[in-house]
Structure 1
């Protein structure tokens, strides 16, 4: 069949040797052609690299002198070290200084000639540490390991460089604490300025030994800042004398100090500027020191998870400047609150910062109140705030006797040098008339109210329109600015607010500024009514209706819609989070 087909097509069959020779010739040609192609590709790649290098050379960045590039690189590395919160190495495992060297030849040269750039060890894996140590030369090291996983395989390698470390932040698992403390005790730390050490404990029954005098072989002359979490030091130790910052939180029961031990430790720190302590357990009964511990340079003091009695005991034993910033996170408070303010402000009639604004945060379980020297709060923090304008921050759990929101105005009356003009309230509770009436009585010079998060403003509206014939009899006679954020406007409340503005204007108490942010059940027509009577209305244009799709008004919490609601679920949910269960005849809370 093959022969017939070949004959019909006039094909002459080739010999086997001829076919083999043809294949060899074809392979040689292809091989030669591929080699030439690869050579051309390599030449093109080289040209592309040259063009890239030329482009970088011609770019403005390449005109910068090495000193400027070094400053930029150092800023990048510092920012990565101190702002990173992951606590784990990068997927590629390379530190950011190594990545910089792969941008271009000039950047690599500048980076390699800057030892400081290689001195930041931010969760660097063990594979890169020797290179970092070599390239950093004799530069002081900054070591940051925020998780036990990143530290586990390399802490011995890192702590072998202890004499070079100036900043040390470690996070360890509880079963490795002893080994790490042994490494920290193996050498002196002549360059160390900051120590941050935290322990992750899966079992609270495991006892963590306190840091003893043997740490750093007793030699850390430059140490000025110590922060410990789930780990503490021996309160009779002298190694931490001369500190300017001390932050010890979550002190284990085995290492909890007596009041005498704590005060003795603070007495050895006359340069202390910032003090943060977690004092959740009550001080043991011991003999208190006869004279107060002077902390003349103290700027901030914060007590975390502290009992009221511990706070009173500590403040009564300390002497510090009148302008110290105080942040307290307390257990439920009771009748001893006045004692606390008495020992915090030992000379209330003397000089001190003027309090101009007040901020309150009210929820079912926690109340918070802050006092600031400025008219607006720069920080969103409600405990241990970093801003200098917040002079006092107080947060406490709610007991049965402190669930009444007007208690924040009782606190206000205890603060000296108050000239409060601005009040900011964030609340998930239903604030009733008595809250706003108490505020009007205690803050007669109030000029501005910011309210957010609460379900309604009906009680505020009712208080604003109350009063006698004379303007001085009306609530908040100095009020001229009102800011409402995330407020659920009930049916007709926008119109009622308009009427109030008109009434108050007739008494010479006009509201000149109104700001509306993310308010619900508020549409353009209602805002236009307010613009007719308020000179400056700032509305973000947010429109969201609370009325149910069936027209029943199930989402609205005003009285009319609530009565028409078939299920009443929204109302009941709000009721559960209100302060309506407060019993004015209940016994005062006692720590006993």
Structure 2
């Protein structure tokens, strides 16, 4: 072979070798560290696990990480935690997952509700339940008949790693009491317990480490009475979240018992959220028997009972007054009040944000609402109850008042506005226009008297001039209906457009500036009405330009209106 050919071959071999070395260097440079890749895989599996209830129609997408390349597969197979997020589909997959997860703590979610044939999945569940000692999180959805088919009988042994337990029973037409003791009654690491429509007796658990308790729709025959529940609650000193939805019976009898009068309150010093949906007597009893921090977010859904009395509402008011008597920095300042009224139902939301008045968003936990109270099926004077509850709250800093369906008497508005001396924005949503004559700058009505309370909303002991809502900057009306000017026999405490202007005339003459806006309001004998007007500013009126309105409004010194309304489009509904 010629020397040149041998040299050329050697060169080609060296080029190939150098290309291979360069390729390997590029691969090493672009490859994520094994630890980072493992964390990404686990994050993907965990995200899928908590968003889907198994079984699914196909293998979860995150499993494909083990088929991308050899390196990814090696990383995946060498990560037991990745395979501990069990999806129960078939016996083969169940056994593979258990083997790959080695001794990692198991997270299991199983939905047996909509299965046409539950036997294959039940067989897989049985295999998993043989590893109870490894279960860290267990979420079960099962119809009531399956309780007796051995699903839970395998959960009688101890579960030292169990931290999260969530069981929901569907179709509990005839609730079944569980005969076996779950986890030998002692899951020492249990932190979160969520039970829906379950007959699991709480007293069968050792719950001293619990931080989250959520009970929903407990079958009536298995509900603990108040004394029993309080005894159970007293063992949960570390609770952070307590949710009770239709989980406790009426506590009317306990309220009048000697035990209640001498009951030593339970200190829940770590509680940050409390939500109760229960009879009114149960709600006030529970609030009376626990001490919780001022920063705790509280939501109460109080259901009236046939034997509900004014005493129950008075006790609720007293409890709220006592809770907020000593304001500290740990208690959120209340800057907004939202009152929603429907037939025989009222909702009060006390918010920490100045303009927190969006009708569809109030009351959510992520908005840090300090307190929300729902009063269902009111049997007594709604105006008086709402005023009494508001009077128990520290509302001196409230900037925004929003009222939905404001069908309330002038006495109601007078009493509410006396508390809200710093209110700047008032918005009314829907319903008939209430009588807001009390918005006159000087109100010649009585101050609150000791007798003005439940059953005595309009009571007074002396007449005295005082200013109501002196800082009011904006009055907004949204979908409000005005009655005709010629209607002298009003079916409800509502006023006409002319009466509203008269009520605001005093504020105008006194030079207290502000804006009146109407959005899609109903004016008799006219299309839906939008308006923006200015009052005050030295006694003059004028037109306030806004791109959001389709009418121009001119206010002369006597508040007479000359309105140039746009014609409605053909077919538009009033």
TM over 0.5: yes
Consecutive unaligned residues of structure 1, counting only runs of 5 or more, are 1-56, 557-592
Note the C-alpha offset of 1:97: 1.8
Q: CA 1:528/1:238 → structure 2, altered by over 3 Å: closer, same or farther?
A: closer
Q: Match of 1:208?
A: 176
State the secondary structure of the residue aligned to 2:365: coil
Q: Which has the higher contact order (CA 8 A, sep 6+)?
A: 1
Which stretch shifts more, 112-121 or 392-401? Answer: 112-121
Q: Match of 1:6?
A: none
Q: CA 1:539/1:137 → structure 2, altered by over 3 Å: closer, same or farther?
A: farther
Aligned residue runs from structure 1 range 487-566, under 5 A: 504-511=507-514, 527=531
Q: Match of 1:169?
A: 139
C-alpha distance in 2 between matches for 1:125 and 1:501: 73
CA deviations over 1:8-64 (Å, ceiling 9, x no partner): xxxxxxxxxxxxxxxxxxxxxxxxxxxxxxxxxxxxxxxxxxxxxxxxx999x9665
CA deviations over 1:70-105 (Å, ceiling 9, x no partner): 444433333333344xx46443x2123224445666
Q: Match of 2:434?
A: 459
Note if contact 2:86-2:108 (Cα within 8 Å) is conserved in structure 1: yes
Q: What TM-score, normalized to structure 2?
A: 0.69
Matched, 1:142 2:118: no
Q: Match of 1:194?
A: 164
C-alpha distance in 2 between matches for 1:542 and 1:109: 67
State the secondary structure of the residue aligned to 1:261: helix
C-alpha distance in 2 between matches for 1:144 and 1:282: 34
1:374 to 350, 353, 357: 353
Note the C-alpha offset of 1:412: 0.6
Which stretch shifts more, 163-172 or 442-451? Answer: 442-451
Note the C-alpha offset of 1:315: 2.4
Note the C-alpha offset of 1:528: 7.0
Note if contact 2:223-2:248 (Cα within 8 Å) is conserved in structure 1: no
CA deviations over 1:359-399 (Å, ceiling 9, x no partner): 2222224321121233354995666x423732211112123
1:323 to 292, 295, 302: 295
Note if contact 1:70-1:110 (Cα within 8 Å) is conserved in structure 2: yes
Aligned residue runs from structure 1 range 133-282, under 5 A: 133-146=98-111, 148-149=113-114, 152=118, 153-154=121-122, 155-178=125-148, 179-185=150-156, 187-203=157-173, 206-209=174-177, 214-277=181-244, 278-282=246-250
Q: Match of 2:316?
A: 340
Larger Rg belongs to: 1
Note if contact 1:530-1:537 (Cα within 8 Å) is conserved in structure 2: no
Matched, 1:129 2:74: no
What is the count of residue pairs matched by the alignment? Answer: 481
C-alpha distance in 2 between matches for 1:547 and 1:113: 73
Q: CA 1:392/1:526 → structure 2, altered by over 3 Å: closer, same or farther?
A: closer
Note if contact 1:226-1:246 (Cα within 8 Å) is conserved in structure 2: yes
Note the C-alpha offset of 1:197: 1.0
- Larger % of helix: which? 1
Note if contact 1:74-1:117 (Cα within 8 Å) is conserved in structure 2: yes
Note the C-alpha offset of 1:215: 1.6
Note the C-alpha offset of 1:169: 1.3
Note the C-alpha offset of 1:228: 0.9
Which stretch shifts more, 222-231 or 237-246? Answer: 237-246
C-alpha distance in 2 between matches for 1:194 and 1:389: 25
